[in-house]
Structure 1
Amino acid sequence: MADTSPAALPDKTAIRDAATVIVLRDRTTAPQILMGQRGAKAAFMPSKFVFPGGAVDPEDAQVPLAQSMNALCRDRLREDSATDRSHALAVAAIRELWEETGLRLSQPGEWQSTPSPDWAGFAQGDHLPTAAPLQFVFRAITPPGRPRRFDARFFLLDADAITSDLDDFSLASDELSHLHWVPLAEARALDLPFITEVVLAEIAQRAATLEPPASVPFFRNDDEESLFLRLYGRDQDR
């Protein structure tokens, strides 16, 4: 029988690493962004329109990548972090995109071992996840007092890098409903969490820029104070 004593249950208020994917389509002409709506009974941000994303799983660190993110983004991810979580965060971003939308960020390749059940559908047809197209563009920690807290890293992804049909969401889970491409200029009219509005403003400024940002905004909400910082990477001058 499982131990259900309070000491044995997970602390749902503990800060968990999370990855969010901002998929941008037709970015240099008429940019659109992929969004979906969380369920009305969800414990975290019920009924809000959000980007695909979720918490990092322990197994994400072991999933192979055909290509890693570029060195600049990995360096930004290591800044203000006790351990290097760049690989696990990239894998979580690709996994959550696949699970919540059915869209695949991959390149041809064979798995060296049998994929776990979470990746079996993704791997069909010899697809390996690739993180090379992901750009780390934003980080935010959920403020204290919320039912769930995440240290969320936001990744910008050009839709051209996706290897599946951009309008086919038939393989998506039911975690997000109303999945659709929203004109970037109209997205802020949706019912959004505050942090999503902030990220959208940042993306609107970067829509036509193909290079990773020189620095990454970071909303760090600690128990003691809330700070707005910028991550430059350990090898950059402040």
Structure 2
Amino acid sequence: MTDKTAIRDAATVIVLRDRATTPRVLMGQRGSKAAFMPSMFVFPGGAVDPGDAEIPLAAPLPALCAGRISEGVAPEMAQILPAAAIRELWEETGLILGQPGTWDGAPDDWQGFAQAGFQPSASALQFVFRAITPPGRPRRFDARFFLVDAGEVANDLDDFGDNDEELEHLQWIPLSEVRQFKLPFITQVVLAEIAQRAADPSPPASVPFFSNRDEEQTFQRLHGRPMPQD
């Protein structure tokens, strides 16, 4: 029987700290009563909101990553998904990916971001992984994972006071210890990819894509398509 659960676009942010010495990633624990992945440790992220399409970015996603993220989908997703990623990181951790600047008319869920004196910027994000939630789950997402170096965060890396408390126990976890935590399967797969990339700041040659759109799981590599230059 075909799974009728709607698949929502989603964006996730992997913030990598101390990559040259003892690499650590920022993760938090979902509540025990959460409908999706209860009690699991995950990266900040969530579903795309309709308003993400209207968010002005001070700087876009790099062209290479934009081409790969747009493979097989509408080109505007190269703007919408990074905006969603930056918003989710801000909401769930209080961390800012942005450039200093005035932002007049910021939406309600971006007011704190704007009041801190920043405009959202996607220039430091790298698109590194895509995965669709398998059939049979209560919620399904077409999730794009973005990697960003912690040095690109504009505010205090250890101050999570402005987060919305959707994630509990926010902490920087060494990659060498992360397997001790309760992790979703796909998070384990992504972490293995990140561990291989920790020493290399350049974007990956191609992006892994676990597609579970139908009953059959397939693995693909996204090489991207040329994006128009301004």
**Separation in structure 2 between the aligned mates of residue 40 and residue 224 of structure 1, nearest angstrom:** 28
* 8 A contact 2:97–2:121 mirrored in 1: yes
**Does structure 1 residue 148 correspond to structure 2 residue 135?**
no
**Separation in structure 1 between the aligned mates of residue 35 and residue 59 of structure 2, nearest angstrom:** 34
Q: Which amino acid aligns with 1:86?
A: A
Show the 5 A alignment for 1:117-136. Answer: 117-136=108-127
Residue 166 (structure 1) aligned to one of 157, 160, 167: 157
**Does structure 1 residue 221 correspond to structure 2 residue 224?**
no
1:139 aligns with 130
2:55 aligns with 63
Shift of 1:126: 2.3
Task: List runs of 5+ in structure 1 lacking aligned partners.
Answer: 1-11
Shift of 1:76: 0.3
Shift of 1:217: 0.2
Q: Secondary structure at the match of 2:210?
A: strand
**Does structure 1 residue 91 correspond to structure 2 residue 90?**
no
Q: Which amino acid aligns with 1:183?
A: P
**Separation in structure 2 between the aligned mates of residue 14 and residue 83 of structure 1, nearest angstrom:** 21
**Separation in structure 1 between the aligned mates of residue 157 and residue 74 of structure 2, nearest angstrom:** 36
* 8 A contact 1:77–1:84 mirrored in 2: no
* 8 A contact 1:140–1:151 mirrored in 2: yes
* 8 A contact 1:188–1:200 mirrored in 2: no
**Separation in structure 2 between the aligned mates of residue 127 and residue 83 of structure 1, nearest angstrom:** 26
**Separation in structure 1 between the aligned mates of residue 74 and residue 116 of structure 2, nearest angstrom:** 37
Show the 5 A alignment for 1:19-34. Answer: 19-34=11-26
**Separation in structure 2 between the aligned mates of residue 26 and residue 134 of structure 1, nearest angstrom:** 17
**Separation in structure 1 between the aligned mates of residue 15 and residue 116 of structure 2, nearest angstrom:** 23
Q: Percent identity?
A: 67
Residue 38 (structure 2) aligned to one of 23, 32, 46: 46
The alignment of Structure 1 onto Structure 2 pairs a total of residues equal to 224
Q: Secondary structure at the match of 2:73?
A: coil
Q: Secondary structure at the match of 1:185?
A: coil
Task: List runs of 5+ in structure 2 lacking aligned partners.
Answer: none
Larger radius of gyration: 1
**Does structure 1 residue 103 correspond to structure 2 residue 90?**
no
**Does structure 1 residue 180 correspond to structure 2 residue 171?**
yes
Dislocated runs of 4+, deviation >4 Å: none
RMSD: 1.3
